[in-house]
Amino acid sequence: MNACQFLRNQGSAAAVGAALAGVVGLSACGQPSAMGEANSLIVVASDSIWSQVEEDTYGALERTVYTTRDEKIFNVTQTDPASPEINELLLWRQVLVFGTPDDPGVRAIADKAGRSSVDPGELVQAHDVWARGQLATAVVLQPGREVDSWRERLPELSDLLERQFREYVLNRMFVSGVDTATADYLRDHFGFTLEIPHVYQRVEREGGVVLIRNDNPDPSELIRSILIQRGEPVDSMKPQMVYLWRASIDDVQYNVPQDFDVLMGTGRHFELNDSEAVEARGIWKDRAAYPAAGPFIARAVRCGDSVIYMDAWLYSPNPRRSKYEYMMQLEEILDSFKCLS
């Protein structure tokens, strides 16, 4: 049996170093592809330390956002380096190793990052440490202060991971490229542009209404929709005008009439790329016998001598699918609004 076959056949290791080294050795034999979702975090740390920081870590890394329910941005799974599952879990897409500078997992990440040494307090990242398509993060703890230094790094770590996850989601959204034809259409007919991925389809309707929709792969499983309409000039912009406009289109523009509830505290007045804008967020519900529902973002933006209304909503009934990720994409499209008048 050669070295690669030996490493692949290893089970759990009795010692921390042996467990991590066994999987690290696979890099010389050809790495497998990373498993899991980008918002699943595998935390590698000793059970003895984890028991003291578990609550703080969940609170920092499993922060929730409200879509139609409180939804975790990340899901955390902890494993001890000597656990029987370590070889499998180290192949996950996102791995966080908490340890002192001489910890084997920390050293593996540092070596992949081209670092000969690391200092306590650092966050060190490297790609493809144990699997292709993986991002591994070493949280370097201070010897003798492992628990305190762990807690001290949590805010910075949380911010870093959320920022990187957002970049990942938005980059993936535009893998198909930007729909320049729709951008040109909106410029010519409405006086503004949006950056929209190619996977969305444009439907032109009477009365100056455009529907931009992505219901791939199956509308029974996932719909992302943006309705756009030009409105009359107004003297002042207030979030209440968005509520009234959305109520006026629910029965007219959607195949299944909708009702909606506005989330308290979400109305805001802001500037969007040099244009005055107001916004409201909430939950839409259809009136069918078996009602569907989902989150929405509705906006009114002043553009030239008119107001542009936009209603972006999501239908994603699978409870295991992240609504937050898709709402982030819809918000990014709305944020790309640029008035050319």
pLDDT of residue 256: 83
> For position 8, what pLDDT does the model report?
40
In contact, 284 and 260? CB cutoff 8 Å:
yes
CATH of domain 180-339: 3.40.1000.10
- Give the model's pLDDT for residue 265: 80
Q: Could you tell me which residues come within 8 angstroms of residue 117 by beta carbon, excluding any fewer than 6 positions away?
A: 101, 110
Reading the block at residue 232, the tokens are 């009359």
Cα 53–Cα 57–Cα 58 angle in degrees, nearest 5: 120
Return the pLDDT at 320.
Answer: 81
294 within 8 A of 68, measured Cβ to Cβ: yes
How much is the pLDDT for 196?
Answer: 96
Distance between CA atoms of 17 and 27, rounded to whole angstroms?
16
Task: Give 212-220's long-range contacts (Cβ < 8 A, gap of 24+).
Answer: 212/182, 219/315
pLDDT digits 0-9 by tens, 31-79? 899 999 999 999 999 999 999 999 999 999 999 988 888 899 999 999 9
For residue range 202-234, what is the model confidence (pLDDT) as tens digits? 999 888 899 999 998 889 899 999 999 999 999
Q: How much is the pLDDT for 145?
A: 98
In angstroms, the Cα distances linking 257 to 64, 204, 250, 252, 260 are: 30, 19, 5, 7, 10
Rounded distance between C-alpha atoms, residue 200 and residue 226, angstroms: 10
- What pLDDT does residue 37 have? 92
| 176/11 Cα distance (integer angstroms) | 41
pLDDT at residue number 31:
87
* Helix (H) or strand (E) run with residue 19 in it: helix 16-24
Regions of the chain with pLDDT less than 70: 1-29, 289-290
Neighbours of 255 (CB within 10 A): 6
Given this model, what pLDDT does residue 29 score? Answer: 57
CA distance 30 to 340: 52
According to the model, what pLDDT value does residue 30 have?
A: 77
Q: Which helix (H) or strand (E) holds 324?
A: helix 323-335
Ramachandran region of residue 137, left (φ > 0), alpha (ψ -120 to 50) or beta? beta
Going from N- to C-terminal start, the domains of the chain cover: 3-173, 180-339
